[in-house]
């Protein structure tokens, strides 16, 4: 309604007469305006109703566990055979409902889990994580190459927790090709886990807290110092395996087990011992 009023008033300012096709001819000015404004109000209400109905359908789609958009890196979208079968719609055959399933290449799940761990436990920034993933392409495969945006997008993606999530971004920003992040309070979550999780919800939340700290300029975790010291000696630090409390690392030709989080005293000891690693 605001748009039509703006156009109408601008044309009137320029001296152009505006006549709406659904307006009766003749009659009084007040009657003509009454008909015009009622029509505009009805159109505005109809638009709001359609948006509410559309969003309501999208919310229900997410709470039922069905996926929106392109599947994240460690997943593929598969047709949900248990979803209700829908008939022909007004625009043709209805698209089938799809859920997320693990990608056939199991290395993708391991890669996604590792990059989340690097952020959560080692407090690594995007470029550092990219460098680690690129160094072992056979272990961390991807179409094209790893980039900062891909890493940050995966770390921030709540679908890795096994929940289906919708309305993370607002596409209607007034700028073509641009979207903005909605606050978490506006996200729509499925009430339960609906696909295999890469990380737990608690681990995902910890990663988001670390990301917020890095963006605020907070110093990285203690393992950054270990990696920096190893790099100066020409050594690489590789995570071999991990569980809820400890991670097994390979540094040079040695393996060490470190708890998470790593105590400062232990970090200093590891750095001092690096000089004897061949």
> Is the model's pTM score more than 0.75?
no
203 and 262 part of one domain:
no
- Residue 200 pLDDT class (50, 70, 90 cuts): very high
132 and 233 part of one domain:
no
Could you read off the pLDDT of 39-57 as tens digits, one per residue? Answer: 888 888 888 888 888 878 8
Within-domain flag for 73:
no
Q: Are strands 237-242 and 246-251 parallel, antiparallel or unpaired?
A: antiparallel
Within-domain flag for 85:
no
Q: Is-contact 213 257, C-beta < 8 A?
A: no
What percent of the chain is predicted at pLDDT more than 90? 33
* pLDDT of 174 strictly over 70: no
115 and 126 part of one domain:
yes
End residue of a domain, out of 219, 254, 270: 219
Residue 2 CB: number of other CB atoms within 10 A? 8
* pLDDT of 114 strictly over 90: yes
* pLDDT of 277 strictly over 60: no
201 vs 255 pLDDT, higher one: 201
Q: Is-contact 73 30, C-beta < 8 A?
A: no
Mean pLDDT of 89-118: 87
End residue of a domain, out of 219, 246, 268: 219
Q: How far is CA 205 from CA 66, 155, 186, 256, 271, in A?
A: 22, 10, 16, 27, 30
92 vs 21 pLDDT, higher one: 21
CATH number of the domain encompassing residue 186 = 3.90.1750.20
* pLDDT of 29 strictly over 80: no
Q: Which residues pair with 79 in a beta bridge?
A: 98
What's the mean pLDDT when you consider all of the chain?
84
208 and 250 part of one domain:
no
Within-domain flag for 271:
yes
* pLDDT of 21 strictly over 90: no
Q: Flag the least confident range among 35-39, 101-105, 130-134, 173-177.
A: 173-177
Coil, helix or strand at residue 226: helix
164 and 240 part of one domain:
no
Residue 234 to residue 277: CA distance in whole angstroms: 11
Q: How far is CA 262 from CA 87, 156, 209, in A?
A: 57, 24, 18
- The whole domain housing 32 covers 2-63
254 vs 189 pLDDT, higher one: 189
Residue with the two structure tokens 């109703």: 49
110 and 199 part of one domain:
yes
Within-domain flag for 75:
no
Mean pLDDT of 124-148: 92
21 vs 130 pLDDT, higher one: 130
Within-domain flag for 16:
yes
Residue with the two structure tokens 């607002």: 170
114 and 15 part of one domain:
no
Domain count for the chain: 3
* pLDDT of 140 strictly over 80: yes
Within-domain flag for 144:
yes
- Residue 137 pLDDT class (50, 70, 90 cuts): very high
Within-domain flag for 49:
yes
Could you read off the pLDDT of 225-243 as tens digits, one per residue? Answer: 777 778 778 888 888 887 7
* pLDDT of 221 strictly over 80: no
Q: Flag the least confident range among 23-27, 37-41, 152-156, 273-277.
A: 273-277
Mean pLDDT of 120-129: 89
Is residue 102 exposed (0-12), middle (13-18) or buried (19+ Cβ within 10 Å)? Answer: middle
154 and 194 part of one domain:
yes
Mean pLDDT of 184-209: 93
């Amino acid at each position: 309604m605001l748009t039509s009023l703006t156009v109408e008033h601008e044309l009137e300012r320029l001296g152009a007469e505006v006549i709406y096709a659904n307006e009766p001819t003749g009659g009084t000015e007040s009657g003509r305006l009454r008909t015009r404004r009622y029509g505009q109000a009805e159109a505005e209400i109809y638009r709001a109703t359609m948006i509410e109905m559309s969003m309501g359908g999208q919310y229900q789609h997410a709470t039922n566990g069905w996926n929106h958009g392109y599947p994240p890196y460690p997943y593929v979208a598969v047709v949900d055979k248990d979803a209700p079968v829908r008939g022909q719609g007004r625009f043709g055959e209805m698209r089938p409902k799809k859920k997320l399933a693990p990608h056939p290449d199991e290395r993708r799940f391991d890669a996604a889990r590792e990059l989340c761990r690097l952020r959560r436990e080692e407090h690594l920034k995007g470029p550092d994580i990219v460098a680690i993933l690129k160094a072992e392409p056979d272990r961390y495969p991807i179409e094209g190459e790893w980039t900062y945006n891909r890493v940050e997008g995966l770390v921030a993606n709540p679908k890795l927790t096994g929940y289906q999530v919708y309305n993370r971004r607002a596409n209607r920003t007034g700028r073509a090709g641009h979207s903005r992040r909605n606050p978490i309070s506006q996200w729509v979550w499925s009430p339960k886990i609906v696909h295999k999780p890469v990380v737990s919800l608690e681990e995902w939340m910890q990663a988001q807290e670390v990301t917020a700290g890095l963006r605020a300029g907070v110093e990285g975790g203690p393992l950054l110092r270990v990696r920096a010291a190893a790099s100066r000696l020409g050594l690489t630090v590789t995570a071999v395996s991990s569980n809820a409390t400890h991670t097994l690392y390979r540094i040079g030709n040695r393996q060490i087990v470190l708890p998470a989080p790593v105590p400062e005293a232990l970090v200093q000891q590891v750095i001092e011992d690096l000089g004897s690693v061949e």
